[in-house]
Amino acid sequence: MAEQVVAGGGLVSGAIFNPDFTGVRHLLASTARELPLFRTSKYVQSDIGTETYHGIRQALDAGHTVLFSGCPCQVAGLRLFLQSDYPNLLTCAVACHGISSPGWFQHYRAQCDIARESPVVDFSFRNKAKGWKKFQIRQVLRNGQVLQEYFGHNYFMWSFLRNLCLRYTCYECRYKGDNMPADILLADFWGVGSLHSEFDTDDRGTSLVVLMTNKGFKAIEDIADRLFLAEVDFESAIGKNPPIRFSFARPPLRRKFLRDAFRRKLPVLMKKYPISPAPSLWVRGIGKARKLLRSWIKASRSESA
C-alpha cells in the first residue's frame, strides 16, 4: 500500500526507530527509499510530534493522498487533530497489545549499552530468522557482533508481554473491537494454520487484514494482484488474538516494577523480578500427577477409615 501511495505522488507516515535505536518516532515519507524504515513492529510508544500532524494536514489540503499507520489510539489522535473527514486520507492501524513506556525502553537500552564495548547499529524486535512464531530480538553492534535472543528470553520483551510496562491508558483502551478508528486493521494471523493451512507453510508470518471501511476495502482491492489473499470469517480470524477486542488488566505489580526499573541496575532488577516463563507442559504434567497422587492418597485414607 505504501509503495502504491508514494508512486502516485502521495505521502506515507509510520513509526521508525531513532538513529541510535533508543526510541521510536513517526516519519512522514514521500519517497520509496524511506519506506523500509517503517518495517517491523517496534514495541515502544512512538513520538508523533506536531510537525508530522501539521505535515499531514498540509499534504491533505494540497490534495495529496496520505497513508497513515500507527496504533489505534494514534489514528484516533490524528482524526481528532484534523477535525474533518478527508477523502484522500487512508488510515491503517496495527492491532495493539498495548504499548511500552518509552522511558523504560530508553533506560533498558542504556543499561545494556554500558555492558558492551560497541554501540548498536541495528535493532529488530521481530527477526524471523528462526521463524515467525519463535521470533528473535536481533541487535547488530558496530564491531560486527550480532546478538540474537529468543523473544521469551529477552527481559524487555518479558516486561512487555507480561504487561508490566504498558502506558496507563492501554489497560483501558477505548479503541478496541467495533471502536477501531482506522480504515484497515493489520494484525498477526495467529492460528492461521488451523483455518488455512496453505498460508502457514514457511513460518514467515501471515497477516490478518481487517477491512473496516469501504475506503479500506478499495485500497486492498487496488493491490490485490500483488497479494495472496483468502477471505475469512471475522470471529474465527480473531479467535487467537484477544487484544483486538480487549485491553489487558493492569498487573498489581506494574507500579512497583516500573518504579524499580528506573532506580535499579538491570542485574538487580532482573534478580528481583526474574523472567518467569509459562510452566512447560512437562512441569504442568508433574503438577497434575502430584494432584492425582494426593487425591488418590486422600481417597484410600478415607476408605481405610
Ligand X SMILES: Cc1cc2nc3c(=O)[nH]c(=O)nc-3n(C[C@H](O)[C@H](O)[C@H](O)COP(=O)(O)OP(=O)(O)OC[C@H]3O[C@@H](n4cnc5c(N)ncnc54)[C@H](O)[C@@H]3O)c2cc1C
Give contact residues for ligand X (rule: CB under 6 A).
14-15, 24, 38-44, 46, 69-71, 74, 94-97, 99, 126, 186-188, 207, 241, 243
Least Cβ distance, residue 5 to ligand X (angstroms): 12
**Rounded-to-integer distance, Cα 228 and Cα 189, Å:** 14
Least Cβ distance, residue 158 to ligand X (angstroms): 15
Least Cβ distance, residue 43 to ligand X (angstroms): 5
Nearer to ligand X, 65 or 74 (CB): 74
Least Cβ distance, residue 115 to ligand X (angstroms): 25
Nearer to ligand X, 126 or 264 (CB): 126
Residue 250 burial by Cβ neighbours in a 10 Å radius (0-12, 13-18, 19+): middle
**Rounded-to-integer distance, Cα 17 and Cα 122, Å:** 10
Nearer to ligand X, 31 or 302 (CB): 31
Least Cβ distance, residue 208 to ligand X (angstroms): 7
Q: Is 128 helix (H, G, I), strand (E, B) or coil?
A: coil
Q: Sheet containing 136-141: give its strands across.
A: 120-127, 136-141, 146-150
Nearer to ligand X, 35 or 266 (CB): 35
Least Cβ distance, residue 244 to ligand X (angstroms): 7
**Rounded-to-integer distance, Cα 80 and Cα 57, Å:** 12
**Rounded-to-integer distance, Cα 196 and Cα 151, Å:** 26
Q: Is 149 helix (H, G, I), strand (E, B) or coil?
A: strand
Nearer to ligand X, 97 or 138 (CB): 97
Nearer to ligand X, 159 or 301 (CB): 159
SS (H, E, C) 191-235: CHHHHCHHHCCCCCCCEEEEECCHHHHHHHHHCHHHCCCCCCCHH
